[in-house]
Chain A
Amino acid sequence: DAKTTQPPSMDCAEGRAANLPCNHSTISGNEYVYWYRQIHSQGPQYIIHGLKNNETNEMASLIITEDRKSSTLILPHATLRDTAVYYCIVRVFYRDDKIIFGKGTRLHILP
């Protein structure tokens, strides 16, 4: 799996959009970008994934650059409940073993 780089922490004001960047410059053509988050020692929660097109679901939007070397997770209207560690993961779709979780970005939502 390609390596990812994320800032260790970020702040965002409540109600504003939270934009979490991820660098994955060595991504391969068959690797997807996944985002999970972990809220204070709870089990990680799947957020979204994509290959090359931008994706949106009820939780977030994923913007992948045209060269696929970086991506941004967008939480459109951050709330205090979005305070968590966010993990950007690159892996082959249907890969049949583990998810490699790095250290992620600790997002603080400020009231």
Chain B
Amino acid sequence: DADVTQTPRNRITKTGKRIMLECSQTKGHDRMYWYRQDPGLGLQLIYYSFDVKDINKGEISDGYSVSRQAQAKFSLSLESAIPNQTALYFCATSDLRQDTQYFGPGTRLTVL
């Protein structure tokens, strides 16, 4: 969905490096989410935010941090990347009126 963009789309990094994944949305939604997907598996929630002042941990927040810079921007950071964080990362926004989530195209992260 072009209304939710993620940068970069692909990233290769080394163990121990700090890396930031960015998400921007033009849908005007208050709620934003970061998910991780490992090959062949479903999505796991990392962090979610209901508004600029609200940040909540998801199922697998260890090793990750987030920043909600504005209603439209939600960034995910890996402070010290490790190989088992190699995965596909998705950002999503939520439309409360219909309780549906809109996902970005994903960032493929490889940690060597």
Chain A residues with CB under 8 Å of chain B are 32, 34, 41-46, 49, 87, 93-104
Contacts and interface: CB of A to CB of B under 8 A. Distances in A.
Nearest to B104: A43
A103 B33 contact: no
Pick the most buried of A44, A49, A102, A103: most chain B CB atoms within 10 A of its CB.
Answer: A44
Given A97-B56, A98-B45, A98-B48, A43 B103 contact: yes
B42 A46 contact: no
Contacts of A41: 88, 106, 108
Contacts of B81: none
B62 interface: no
Contacts of B56: 97
Contact of A49 (B4, B43, B99): B99
B69 interface: no
Interface string B1-14: 10010000000000
Interface in B16-51: 31, 33, 41-43, 45, 48, 50
Interface in B73-112: 88, 90, 92, 96, 99-106, 108
8 contacts: A41-B106, A43-B104, A45-B1, A46-B100, A93-B99, A98-B58, A99-B101, A102-B42
A90 B101 CA distance: 14
Contacts of A99: 43, 45, 101
Given A43-B90, A102-B42, A103-B42, A97 B103 contact: no
Contacts of A100: 42
Contacts of B100: 34, 46, 49
